[in-house]
Amino acid sequence: MAYTGKDRSIALAGVYQSVLCVRQIARQGSVDTDAMTPCIYSLFQTDADSVPEIFGAPGSVYAGAKELVGQLTGKQPREIELTRYVITLLKLERVLAGRSQLIRDIGADIDDARAKLDHFPMLHPNLLAHLADIYSRTISQLQPRVMVQGDPRFLQPPDNQNRIRALLLAGVRSAWLWRQVGGSRWQFLFGRKALLMAALDYLRLARQ
């Protein structure tokens, strides 16, 4: 299948949306569930017909695409913390790509988690705890580690820790998708205009 610049922008927007949700939980103790749901949803999509469908309904990664546009244009303040999260997740995906057995283990664990969808909604604490455990046993053991900054009052509650870890797992999944559709470090450095145009088009269509 031939992938497009729009596919790459959506995948990268998925990474940004995951870390936006992580930061919101870490700083405020709450999260926009409309933004978080597509991230978690993407973990269970293995046979979608198109890249947008991996995140659900049209416009599902609007928040991530908006942040991506802001960072590419410089119209938003440079978010060093956010950029660090994104870069770390992209690096982790590259490390994971070389661990075929670990990839199979994660896939099997997510299949086990999928069974919970018959009994719990997408953001139910039980399901998020299962996904968080997958992250803790696998990706969190790799280097570089994602060091989440925030208010200790919001970082310490177990439910918040589970939400953050589940979102980081989703962020790595989006980073994997970014590579699958042709994304690369060089693409990000030298194909920024194409990414920007595609992300702007995505936002325009989502607003219609």
Interval 174-197 mean pLDDT: 89
Tokens 């139910």 appear where? 124
pLDDT at 64 over 90: yes
pLDDT at 74 over 80: no
Query: Which pTM does this prediction carry?
Result: 0.96
Average pLDDT over residues 87-110: 96
Query: What was the pLDDT predicted at 77?
Result: 66
In this prediction, residue 75 carries a pLDDT of: 67
User: Which position has the higher pLDDT, 125 or 188?
Assistant: 125
Domain 5-207 is classified in which CATH homologous superfamily?
A: HflD-like (1.10.3890.10)
Q: What are phi and psi of 80, to 5 degrees?
A: -60, -45
Rounded to an integer, what is the distance from CA 75 to the centroid of its chain?
22
Domain spans of the chain?
5-207
